[in-house]
Amino acid sequence: MRKQRQLVLLGLIGLLLMVSVPVEVKATPVYNWSDNFDDDNYDGWTVDGGTYDASGGMLTSTALMPGPAFGNIYHPSNTSMGTWSFDVHVVDDSVNGNHLWIPFMRVGPGAAFTGYQFAIELLGSTLYLYKDINTQVGVYSMGYMLGYHHIRIERNTTDANMFYVYHNGILAIEGFAIVVPYDWGYFSYHATIGSSIDNITVTEFVDDTTPTTPTDAEPTTMEPSTSPTETPTPLDTTMILIIVGGGVAVVVIVAIVVKMRS
């Protein structure tokens, strides 16, 4: 009988150890986030091609990849319904031309023209909306390329197949596109050397604020964002369940051991 009790006790200890082993939990999705780079860094972003700098309060492309090809920097972003807004500053790059490619909805974090994505392109004083790299959804003539541009993109649940793109507060593109329910996970920025992005705000809702039409087509300053640089990440619910489950297992084992002793 003593040996039998010892075997049962060892089995219960083994169960406790299995419950206590750390379990890898998928990161909590990021739906609402912003970055104005006022901290002069790009914490939260990942670079895997080219170089970038944020010491001037904007995220600036400082070197391309061999080719030359766009550098690659990306931020977690799971939003596929809501609002994306940002400012860009385009400077003269007489060597590589002036070209920005900004995927605001991406499935994977790879190079600029890879993977399923919805993207904004600025090229030759023209603004484009793309569904993947080959399907053009809309086009708008901005009238200028060098200087500042404020871009705002909206997609809402009442008309889920429509994208509304504003340029400096003016509705520039109404584009129809069927969105496949992929696991959207990234926002990325690709640009020729010297051009910057700033005041990025991504929300999973379309607010009621009507964009204001600027009085100057080329504003001279970028207004700093007042929102925090990152939404605090709550403790994942799966991890909470693991912790609670482990506690229950401990209570059950203690109760059984007490019962065996009595």
Amino acid identity, position 78: N
pLDDT of residue 40: 97
Task: Considering only residues 233 and 136, tell me which one the structure prediction assigns the higher pLDDT.
Answer: 136
Tens digits of per-residue pLDDT, 113-161? 999 999 999 999 999 999 999 999 999 999 999 999 999 999 998 899 9
Tens digits of per-residue pLDDT, 10-57? 454 444 344 444 444 557 899 999 999 999 999 999 999 999 999 999
Task: Considering only residues 129 and 246, tell me which one the structure prediction assigns the higher pLDDT.
Answer: 129
Report the distance separating Cα 47 and Cα 38, nearest Å.
19
**In the structure, what pLDDT confidence band is assigned to residue 238 with cuts at 50, 70 and 90?**
very low
Q: Strand (E) positions, the chain? A: 33-35, 46-49, 51-53, 59-63, 72-76, 82-90, 99-106, 117-123, 126-131, 135-141, 147-155, 162-167, 170-176, 186-191, 196-203
Whole-prediction pTM: 0.72
